[in-house]
Structure 1
Amino acid sequence: MKVELGFGNTTQTVRIRDEKLQDILLPNAVPHGLTGAAEVRRALREPIASRPLREIVRPGEKIAVITSDITRPLPTWEIMPELLEELYAAGIGSGDITLVFALGSHRLHTEKEKRKLAGKRAYEEIACIDGDINDCVHLGVTSRGTPVDIVRAVAKADRRICLGNIEYHYFAGYSGGAKAIMPGVSTRAAIQANHSMMTEPLACAGNMKENPIREDIEEAAAICGVDFILNVVLDEHKKIICAVAGDVTEAHRAGCTFLDTLYEKKIKEPADIVIVSQGGAPKDMNLYQTQKALDNAKHAVRDGGIIILAGSCREGLGERTFEEWMTEASKPEELIERVRRDFKLGGHKAAAIAMVLEKAEIYLVSELEPAFVETLFMTPFDNVQAAYETADAKLGGRGREATVLVMPYGGSTLPRVLSPVLQEKLSEHTGA
């Protein structure tokens, strides 16, 4: 079997003998109707738990549209023309609309990047700005003590519309929804306070019930106020196949339900080797972003197994504190101890990698210098095939075949091991 994986703006391939391949975790075949801009138009016409947007906004109001930055695959350029038509139909002037890129803790954009993200029409018709976390308005504090300090351009707007892409998030449960506000246009201190709850058991991928981080995010958004959301779910080719619009919570939950039908993958048992990719650019531009695929892969690998993580990481580690923590530690255990003792945003992803290393080895296929990768407690490779052959030789042998799972879209795909009861039922049904 020849399997292709996204790697930066290119691909890598790996050949695996059929008898060793346990599964390739591709998106489920889910029937869907409209796609792209047509699906966005449909969602705007059929808002969930909300009046249509054109009945909410009023002429003369200042509208802030909060959207994702360049590290996210959200096709803002495809969404904005439909959203602008809706706003213009309500009598909103182009001079009263500002598109705010939610940076969170990420870097500023170049003007070229802003134009690409916004799309030609939005870039030329309305103001397109990066959220300035150094110019925020204090709106309150959540019940968990997180300060609600929001970028001024958003806080002072009369109406706030949040865009987003819904996928699994390793401690907020899912991306999208109120995450455009927290952490999107929040201060570093606010994000740190919220993310400090990441070590709590219910703060995990695919979980909304009593997830402390998601609850805190939505409380912050309620304090700030969100008038409308427009979120999408993308297929493995980054095409819009589902859009949800309306209430910040109810519409978001509808999108999460659809995502589960698409990307939740049931597996009978963990594999010896898991090969995982983010799916290529822009989601593997640095290790900080590529880590998301690694965290999903940990649910599919057995204790003592090997995860082969394929990501270009052409921009390096991607975040200053993350880099400091990764390069200063002498062993992975120090990172876990450090995050428990002194939580720092950025450092939290270093600790997350260390927690994976407690369970499995990590072979990193990247454009990073091999000697540098070794200082990050991972084994470096420049191609997936070589990494797989090394892992297979280590875990196979003595008459035992090392099993393999492949996750070509690891940042989106969430493996779940079937319960013993469900496995028994499936076996009865299939006669296995």
Structure 2
Amino acid sequence: MQVSLLYGRSGIRVALPDDAEVTLIGKPEMPRLADPVAAVRQALGHSPTSGTPAGLQQIAQGASSACIAICDITRPVPNHLFLRPMIETLASAGVPLEQITVLVATGLHRPNLGDELAELIGDRWVLENVSVVNHEALCDEDHVDLGETTTRQTPIKIDRRFVQADVRIATGLVEPHFMAGYSGGRKVIAPGLAHADTIRTFHNHQFMSNPAATNCNLHRNPLHEEQLEIVERIGGAYALNTVIDEHRNLSMVNFGEITASHQEAVSFIERYCRVAVPRRFPTVITSAAGYPLDKTYYQTVKGMVGAIEILQRGGNLIIASQCSEGLGSGDYAAAQAVLTRLGPEGFLQSIRDKPFADIDEWQTQMQTKATRQGNVYLYSALPPESKALTGVRISDDLEATIRASIDASECKRVAVIPEGPYVIPFVQDP
């Protein structure tokens, strides 16, 4: 049997042994919008079920400025479908083009520039008619300080270009997220447009170790609760939310008040992304969702964590991720170096009492969730010096690693998750 995994831009085909009992885990078939452009315009026109009594044209009447936050290059958001209609609607309501800013919500990721920025925006007209800039989390003067959250005292410092705009719109893709439950909506603002102090606080050990900070869960999720309070403190916002299918066709789009519209999109995607299986598996094969998510090993951790609920304790989790840009940031490489030097338990002990996490070390902490459950094998294009910092086992021959895992197990059952972290399987008792 052959299976296809998302890997880089083109994917990868893998031959599984004939004696393997394969369970292929994917989303149920999702609807596909026949006319995505018309669907976007309809959503912008009027979305009464998304907590907004009027469309964007009415909302923007009398406004003199607007800021549209978009996700960075790590997310396959269909910006080309909605940015120009959104900007044209704002302009027709009287907002001057020179007062409309498209702000790339990089969080603490690197900026998106040049050809990469053009790819991200997907529409030359947008780049030529409005200001398109990157958020810089380490630039103090770019942020407004709004104090701290009520319960957990997270600093609230958000990009002033967004906070001070008359019309604030977050845009993005709603999908499972291994810390915040689901991406999109409020997450585009924090951490997307947040200062490093904000990000490093609600990514510290205490937040990351909370069992509610996990995939597909918003109930008592500490990150989600902080994000909702931050949205309230900046005076609210609107959101355009998208959901795509496994072929990245638009399945759903809505526009409205940020919390209500995001919840509506979550209610839609959770029917597809959470997939029940009857048992755990000794061998699980997954991906890091292909390009653009698998450009770095940093993002690959999401695929590991997304699969652990169905991995038998001590089993083998085999993940394919191209990692064409290497490990990720220098800060992340430093955290991985600590992991490989101290081991998982030593690393966790070293970060336990920090109020501010070191940049990107939270991803290393999340990796330990996977390695505590079983053995993780990585198939990638990383150079040898980078492979040494992954903290997992390396597969140079994907099919041979799968064969060896099956041979070493008394059970021939194998689970395959082609989309990686876009599908979150769980065990449902009979």
Q: Paired residue for 1:354? A: 368
2:256 partner amino acid: G
1:204 aligns to 2:214 (yes or no): yes
Are residues 1:322 and 2:329 paired?
A: no
Matched, 1:42 2:49: no
Which blocks of at least 5 consecutive residues in structure 2 are unaligned? none
Counting matched residue pairs gives 416
Corresponding position of 2:65: 62
Against the structure 1 CA distance between its residues 269 and 339, is the aligned structure 2 distance closer, same or farther, given a 3 Å change threshold? Answer: farther
Residue equivalent to 2:136: 132
- Give the one of 85, 92, 115 matched to 1:112: 115
1:45-101 per-position Cα deviation (integer Å, ceiling 9, x unaligned) = 332110211111134511000001111111212221221232133222211211000
User: TM (normalized to structure 2)?
Assistant: 0.92
Name the residue aligned to 1:220. 230
| 8 Å CA contact retained: 2:33, 2:250 | no
User: Are the counterparts in 2 of residues 5 and 13 from structure 1 also a CA contact under 8 Å?
Assistant: yes
Deviations 1:107-157 (A, max 9, x none): 012222222222212111111001132021112221121111111221221
Cα–Cα, structure 1 residues 375 and 393, in superposed 2: closer, same or farther, change >3 Å?
Answer: farther
Is this contact kept in 2: 1:274–1:297, CA < 8 A?
Answer: yes
CA contact (8 A) 1:70 1:282 kept: yes
**Map of 1:28-177 to 2, 5 A cutoff?**
28-34=28-34, 36-47=36-47, 48-50=50-52, 51-59=54-62, 61-118=64-121, 119-133=123-137, 134=139, 135-143=142-150, 144-177=152-185
Instruction: Determine whether 1:9 maps to 2:9.
Output: yes
Matched residue SS, 2:11: strand
Please identify, of 30-39 and 143-152, the stretch whose mean Cα deviation from structure 2 is larger. Answer: 30-39
Say what the alpha-carbon RMSD is for the aligned residues. Answer: 1.7
Of 347, 366, 390, which residue of structure 2 is paired with 1:376?
390
Do structure 1's residue 365 and structure 2's residue 379 form an aligned pair? yes
Distance 1:60 1:418, change over 3 A: closer
Which amino acid in structure 2 is aligned with residue 270 of structure 1? Answer: R
Change in 2 beyond 3 A, CA 1:418/1:192 = same
Equivalent pair of 1:295/1:356 in contact (CA under 8 Å):
yes
Q: How does 1:182-331 map to 2 (within 5 A)?
A: 182-196=190-204, 197-329=207-339, 330=341, 331=343
Q: Which moved more, 1:14-23 or 1:310-319?
A: 14-23
1:338 equivalent to 2:350? Answer: yes
Provide, for residues 303-322 of structure 1, a one-character-per-residue CA deviation record: whole Å limited to 9, x for no partner.
01011111011111112332
Amino acid across the alignment from 1:285 = K
| Conservation of the 8 A alpha-carbon contact between 2:326 and 2:386 | no
The one of 181, 184, 193 equivalent to 2:189 is 181
Residue pair 1:277, 1:293 contacting (<8 A) in 2 also: yes
* AA at the equivalent of 1:338: S
Say whether the 8 Å CA contact 1:67–1:164 is kept in structure 2: yes
Q: AA paired with 2:26?
A: L
Q: Could you list the runs of 4 or more consecutive aligned residues of structure 1 that deviate by over 6 angstroms after TM superposition?
A: none
Identity %: 28
TM-score with structure 1 length normalisation? Answer: 0.92
Whether the aligned pair in 2 keeps the contact of 1:60 and 1:93 (CA below 8 Å) is no
Aligned letter for 2:244? Answer: L
Q: Would you say the 8 A contact 2:70–2:102 is kept in 1?
A: yes
Going from structure 1 to structure 2, the CA distance change for 1:368 and 1:261 (only over 3 Å counts) comes to same
Q: Secondary structure at the match of 1:249?
A: helix
1:272 match: secondary structure: strand
- Contact between 1:4 and 1:11, CA under 8 Å: does it hold in 2? yes
CA contact (8 A) 2:45 2:55 kept: yes
Q: Which moved more, 1:242-251 or 1:383-392?
A: 383-392
3-state SS of paired residue (1:123): helix
Partner residue, 1:25: 25
User: Alpha-carbon deviations, 1:196-222, whole Å to 9, x = none?
Assistant: 212112111111111111010111111
Structure 1: tracts of 5 or more residues without a match:
424-432
Q: Within 2, Cα distance between the matches of 1:306 and 1:201? A: 23
Cα distance change, pair 34–335 in 1 and its aligned pair in 2 (3 A): farther
Q: Is the 8 A contact 2:305 2:369 kept in 1?
A: no
2:190 touches 2:230 (CA, 8 Å); kept in 1? yes
CA distance 1:22–1:2, change in 2 (3 Å): closer
After superposition, the C-alpha distances for 1:287-328 in whole angstroms (9 at most, x for unaligned) are 111111111011121101011111011111112332112112
Q: Distance in 1 between matches of 2:134 and 2:300?
A: 23
Q: Secondary structure at the match of 1:81?
A: helix
